[in-house]
Amino acid sequence: MSFFNISRQSLPTDFFSGSSNTNRRRFTISNSSRSSVIASDSCISRNSSASLIDRGSSLTNDLKFLINNQRYSDLEIRCKDGQVLYGCRAILAARSSVLDSMLYDKKSSSRITLSEIDSFIMIIILEFLYTGSISEGILTVENSFEIYFAANYFRLNKLQDLVIPFVYESCRTSTSNDCFPKLFSKAIGTISPLTNNEIITILMEYVARIPLDDIEYGQLSIEALHFLLSNVDRTSFATGDYSILRYAILTSAKEIAPDAVNFFEKRLPTLYAIFQDDYTIDYSKDMGYSNICVSISKKINPLCEYIDLSSIDEKVFKKILLPLRLIPPQSSTDSNNFVHDASVQHRGETALTNTNKGFPSYLVMSPEREFSGNQVISSPAPDLKWSDLMCGPNLQILDDGSKVITTTQAESTQSVRANYLMTNGVHMWDIIVGRNSKLAWIGVCTEEYNFPYFSGSQPNAWVMGLDGYCYNNSNRGVKFLDVKIKSGSKITVQTLSNCDFKVP
């Protein structure tokens, strides 16, 4: 018995070739004995092996024999790419109400045009319409949305139900992020974002977890980025505000004038390069890009509603972003006002408080030079506790894990960590530094961490002190903030779990 299955590999390179006069079309259907059936305008020819095929043994195989077979077809289907396929009107109308309406509702038609579907996708749709399934290996990440779109167009719910779990599983198990941003952009550009669409939701949630620094400029369109920002909770978004703005500017530059990308890339260092102070900017040459700046500003303007410019460090904002004159004036004014007027808010509480439920933080504590009482760290969130398993030996945890205090025996820096681990995304919480906390460091660390020692000297912890200095794997800090944080102040901490943390 021969089992036929159509695959892209079985289509010859000249599948759609032919003289414009004869308009010949042909394709190969391969079977287990490697015999072939060639369909042409005038005849069906078989080799000696193919002539032994026992028709009637498999309904599926017999129906596959009819796919795009002009001899047994009474319908021409002209696709988006100009190629013509052939089908049986009765079968197609019976299998799809949309095709039934196109072929029979008004007047009988032997020709239809599908201006939104390419021929290769339509071949897959024909296979599903004829047999109720598609061949193994035909569905890929790259063509999944086009198949889904065509299935939606013809109202083939069963085919959509095949594509959705395939895309979900591909996102879950993929070791490469290369194709998903482009696929998501294609989806946003094809289907109205207002449509409640399951495949867009799957792609949106997956792409949001990819840091924009890992996505090639232009792979994620400005429209798709706008959709992400307006629909995804920022706590599940893997990119901070500066990096979002940087990606939007560089992608806009690539769309408007590809040769301008290098110019803007040199003036917009990555956040990692900024943190390492490993960048230089030459402001002496504008290369005549002022007109392009105006066009870029118009493209990114709708995004500014969802970008918190006030969370970008003041020096970065003034030294890197403002000289490019890309930020809308009102957004720039609001950002500067926030930086100067609201960077530190004084409160009367004497505890360090984490007000964002479910996100971890730790505070590295040091005894005061003039010890006058216990230093207190507190969290009101019932699920977020300070862990006695991740605590320095001279710190004491009280009130069922909601508070930790230093003891009089603490003669060196000690630390404590919360019982929650961060996942990918941006996490924000408020911290109120106790009035007795003259020396304190706030930061993030890995699970492998030595709590009895100063965190800043360890390679797997990143902390910032009340004096504005940051430490990592060194006892020498790098100045990060121009202001000193006073005890009793409320600090909003924002972490980007892929590489850094910051205090807006």
- Separation CA 99–CA 109 (nearest Å): 11
- Separation CA 461–CA 450 (nearest Å): 10
> Would you state the structure tokens that stand for residue 432, as one six-digit string?
């109120």
CA 335 to chain centre: 26
Residue 86 or residue 208, greater confidence: 86
> pLDDT band for position 465 (50/70/90)?
confident
Q: How many residues does this entry show for the chain?
A: 504
Could you report the per-residue pLDDT of 126-139, keeping only the tens digit for each?
999 999 999 888 99
Instruction: Read off the amino acid at residue 176.
Output: S
Residue 259 or residue 332, greater confidence: 259
Fold that domain 8-138 belongs to in CATH: Potassium Channel Kv1.1; Chain A (3.30.710)
- Separation CA 24–CA 78 (nearest Å): 14
Q: Are 491 and 466 in contact (CB under 8 A)?
A: no
Angle at 356 between CA 210 and CA 376, to 5 degrees: 125
> Would you state the structure tokens that stand for residue 254, as one six-digit string?
């690539």
CA dihedral 212, 216, 218, 220 (to 10 degrees): -40
> pLDDT band for position 463 (50/70/90)?
confident
Listed in order, the ranges of the chain carrying CATH 2.60.120 are 347-502
CA dihedral 93, 167, 115, 190 (to 10 degrees): 130
> pLDDT band for position 9 (50/70/90)?
very low
How many C-alpha atoms does 237 have within 13 Å on its Cβ side?
Answer: 20
Could you report the per-residue pLDDT of 10-48, keeping only the tens digit for each?
344 343 433 334 343 333 333 333 333 333 333 333 333
Could you report the per-residue pLDDT of 65-103, keeping only the tens digit for each?
889 989 988 899 999 999 999 999 999 999 999 999 888
Listed in order, the ranges of the chain carrying CATH 3.30.710.10 are 8-138
- Using alpha carbons, select from 175, 165, 157 the residue that is nearest to residue 139: 165
What pLDDT, on a 0 to 100 scale, did the predictor assign at position 237? 74
In the block, tokens 């009102």 appear at: 330
CATH number, domain 347-502, options 2.40.128, 1.10.3470, 3.30.300, 2.60.120: 2.60.120
What pLDDT, on a 0 to 100 scale, did the predictor assign at position 45? 33
Could you report the per-residue pLDDT of 182-207, keeping only the tens digit for each?
999 998 888 776 566 888 889 988 89
